[in-house]
Structure 1
Amino acid sequence: MTTTQRIQTAYELAKQQYAELGIDTDAVLNEVNSVPISVHCWQGDDVRGFENPDQELSGGIQATGNYPGRARTAVELRQDLDQAFRLIPGKKRLNLHAMYLESDQPVSRDKIKPEHFTNWVEWAKKTDTGLDFNPSCFSHPLSEDGMTLAHPDEKIRQFWVDHCIASRKVSESFGRALGTPSVMNIWVPDGMKDVPFDRLAPRQRLMDSLDKIIAEPIDERYHKDAVESKLFGIGAEAYTVGSNEFYMGYATSRNILLCLDAGHFHPTEVISDKISACSLYVKEFLLHVTRPIRWDSDHVVLLDEETQAIANEIVRHKLYDRVNIGLDFFDASINRIAAWVIGTRNTRKALLKAMLEPQQQLKDAEDTRDYTTRLAMMEETRSMPWAAVWDYYCMVNDVPVGLEWLKDVKDYEQTVLATREAN
């Protein structure tokens, strides 16, 4: 039996087993394939961008490790993304930061324009990839003291306001060029290392800055605003201006998107439980799916319980039109392309597993308070042959099945990435 025959046979058996629970696996494959996942550009170059090749990271941003082959130019980064995308099934987007612009001359962040991202748009058209965007309010001389949009110095604060306003124009241009709205996420590192006396004034300044940034209406067919909270970071251990409460209130009152990052909360908190609660008040979400370990939030996504719980919430409540799924991790201790592939495939796997739940039976059991059946079904479906469905899904989408993708990554490492270190 050939590998193709084995995968086909396993799928047909799984299809029958799921059909007994009323689940049409063919329909599920079409559904899971259509849900976009926004892959983050910064895994490929350790969050350095292309403003200055010697730029040091700051503002709570830190990439650890020195695995060979980091992308040093936008051309190399797009080449790496092409390689990663060939190994990942399903609809994909790319999330860009402002400092990934391309220009022959230095460009101040408050002066960025759509033309500085022309090559990214052309690449997106060729690869049928939507683009999302972020202002880069870190790793800059004017962010060195840990404050940007909440800075007490009006001139510095205005610089970052102007940067975000310019970023909205770039984001809008993506949506117009590609026919799909760009989600622009605002995250700032603003906070204090030690206990502040005045917690209110910085939040008043941040609110005022954000109001100025989003003052000009932009058609949501092209651009959507999102704001992202954080618990704490390096240099902001005692106080973070943009807390969860601040941004949830802001997103709700301004009718914009709330970004929930899986690593930006206390270790005992999970964003999967926040999705349904916030959905009652927030019209739309951006998710940053990542994996927290202790204080660090940006590890490669695993197919763990929280990743699965996040996918379950999206699927069970049919929130596809209200939740934008993005990834946010950067690991320089392993092959960067492999990190993209592992994290994105795991996110897609979680969505597939969620779609293979016997949802109506589980809901009926819960509605009739038959909690015994609910628990039994939830546990038994864990061992259903979802992996056979996944393998078939990969095969029909012409991406490697199982660990076959790792061979491609290793070959690419030897033929492409190794030459970067040698030059």
Structure 2
Amino acid sequence: MIYIYDIQNKDNGTNEQEVFLMSRFEEAKEAYAGVGVDVEAALKQLQQVRISMHCWQGDDVLGFDSDTLTGGIATTGNYPGRARNPEELMADIHKAYTLIPGKHKLNLHASYRITDEKVDRDKIEPKHFKAWVDFAKEEGIGLDFNPTFFSHKNVKDNMTLSSPDKAIRDFWIEHGKACRKIANYFGEELGITALDNIWIPDGTKDVPADRIGPRARLKDALDEILSVKYDRKNIADAVEGKVFGIGVESYTVGSHEFYMNYAAKNGLMCLLDTGHYHPTEVVSDKISSMLLFNDSLALHVSRPVRWDSDHVIKLDDELKELATELVRCNALDKVFIGLDFFDASINRLAAWVIGMRNMQKALLYGLLTPNKELKAAQDAADFTKVLQGLEEIKTLPFGDVWAEFCQRNEVPVDGKWYPIVKEYEKDVQFKR
């Protein structure tokens, strides 16, 4: 535990908190050095990791082109202060970034276009997202993108790209093509590769009579969407599977197996969402297998509670194991890490800050783990040493290193950011 004092020196007016934290940090460095961990190297590596913060936490996934949320997605809660327009959403996002160490990315859905034009999703263009590019340049962040295959009249009978209705499929194919063009625009403008991730809600509530037909149509639709080639420096394509969703409990067209095979065959990334598997499955165990056969990987990090309920992520055992596995696989420069939760029962700004900081803490935990030494012990069949090492690092002064990371990035340490959120809530959010 880290104790934070806020004492003003009467002689020179300096704040002694920084001195206290620095002393604790130096002690922490020594403790970690004792198990073979270079703390400075860990902090340097963490500084380079950009996490994609999802815009839809700020407004309960409503976006700016629909008044209702449909297509197997739901938010629960009615906490006041939801962002209602682009200006409010951008203000909340900016405030969140001031409380999160480092420079990151923002993950957008196509439903968040900013325009006065009446344009449907199959006709969206880069110009409809220029305001987001301008915002990203001001913040020094990158942008990621997602086609929005939900909350639309053309989600017919829970089907989009796999629909037996050609007109429905064609509409969504054009939407997918438009989104890839926009993602490429993000990469060109910002100089940071934009992830374009395809997820669809297609499936059936009860056991289907035909499983292969919808999947064959989905395959053909994806082939058409991805037929246009872009520079990989600007855009990285991913596909995202799922076990089931609301209203499609028995059959999901875009299953994990479908997308894993499609991605492998077509040189795409398979995006793993931590809430999209059976309750006893863990994504941490999948990472090494995926990376052995793929150059890169994409993640949506959420917290399922018995199902894909998209709770704000905690610094729990699976999050730490997930992040540590990324470190062990030397994959921090090969993975696109994005968050994907939406909780309307708590302050939405706080949800972002808690989730982003927890993802960074988990990565730091992995970087501060003596992975090389533990691997050597495992290879030598010294499993007692492995267990002892994994257990004893849990009591090393991790919090002191995290506090130093916050201090270096000029953001509040733990215990200091929440009052800032409460003040913003009172002065801004509760007045909406």
TM-score interval, smaller chain: over 0.9
The count of corresponding residues between Structure 1 and Structure 2 is: 418
Structure-2-length-normalised TM-score: 0.95
Alignment check: 8 A CA contact 1:94 1:129 kept: yes
Q: Which residue of 2 aligns with 1:249?
A: 261
Q: Which residue of 1 aligns with 2:416?
A: 404
| Paired letter, 1:18 | Y
Matches of 1:251 and 1:360, distance apart in 2? 31
Q: Deviations over 1:80-127 (max 9, x none)?
A: 001001101123100000010011122100000000001100010111
Q: Which residue of 2 aligns with 1:216?
A: 228
RMSD after superposition: 0.9
Mean Cα deviation higher: 290-299 or 71-80? 290-299
Mean Cα deviation higher: 341-350 or 21-30? 21-30
1:231 aligned counterpart, secondary structure = coil
| Paired letter, 1:328 | D
- Find the partner of 1:17 among 9, 31, 46: 31
Alignment check: 8 A CA contact 1:264 1:297 kept: no
- 1:19-34 to structure 2, matched below 5 A, reads 19-34=33-48
1:225 aligned counterpart, secondary structure = strand
| Paired letter, 2:422 | K
- Find the partner of 1:45 among 52, 59, 63: 59
Matches of 2:262 and 2:317, distance apart in 1? 30
Matches of 1:265 and 1:22, distance apart in 2? 36
- Find the partner of 2:384 among 362, 372, 384: 372
| Paired letter, 2:339 | L
Structure 2: which 5+ residue stretches go unaligned?
Answer: 1-6, 8-15
Determine if the alignment matches structure 1 residue 333 to structure 2 residue 379: no
Q: Which residue of 1 aligns with 2:11?
A: none
| Paired letter, 1:247 | Y
| Paired letter, 1:125 | K
Matches of 1:206 and 1:66, distance apart in 2? 36
Matches of 1:144 and 1:389, distance apart in 2? 51
Matches of 2:156 and 2:420, distance apart in 1? 40
Matches of 1:324 and 1:295, distance apart in 2? 23
| Paired letter, 1:29 | L
- 1:112-261 to structure 2, matched below 5 A, reads 112-261=124-273
Determine if the alignment matches structure 1 residue 76 to structure 2 residue 88: yes
1:297 aligned counterpart, secondary structure = coil
2:118 aligned counterpart, secondary structure = coil
Structure 1: which 5+ residue stretches go unaligned?
Answer: none
Q: Deviations over 1:224-279 (max 9, x none)?
A: 11000010011100100000100000000000011000000000001110111111
Alignment check: 8 A CA contact 2:156 2:168 kept: no
| Paired letter, 1:37 | I
Matches of 2:406 and 2:348, distance apart in 1? 21
Q: Which residue of 2 aligns with 1:5?
A: 19
Q: Deviations over 1:182-205 (max 9, x none)?
A: 000000000000110100000000
Alignment check: 8 A CA contact 1:262 1:297 kept: no
| Paired letter, 2:55 | C
Structure-1-length-normalised TM-score: 0.98
Determine if the alignment matches structure 1 residue 57 to structure 2 residue 31: no
Tell me the CA shift for residue 305 of structure 1: 0.9
Q: Deviations over 1:65-89 (max 9, x none)?
A: 1111111111111100010011011
Matches of 1:114 and 1:329, distance apart in 2? 26
Tell me the CA shift for residue 22 of structure 1: 2.3
Q: Which residue of 2 aligns with 1:276?
A: 288
Determine if the alignment matches structure 1 residue 88 to structure 2 residue 100: yes
| Paired letter, 2:113 | L
| Paired letter, 2:32 | Y
Q: Which residue of 1 aligns with 2:3?
A: none
- 1:268-347 to structure 2, matched below 5 A, reads 268-347=280-359
Alignment check: 8 A CA contact 2:315 2:359 kept: yes
Q: In percent, how many aligned pairs have the same letter?
A: 52
Matches of 1:312 and 1:358, distance apart in 2? 10
Tell me the CA shift for residue 144 of structure 1: 4.4
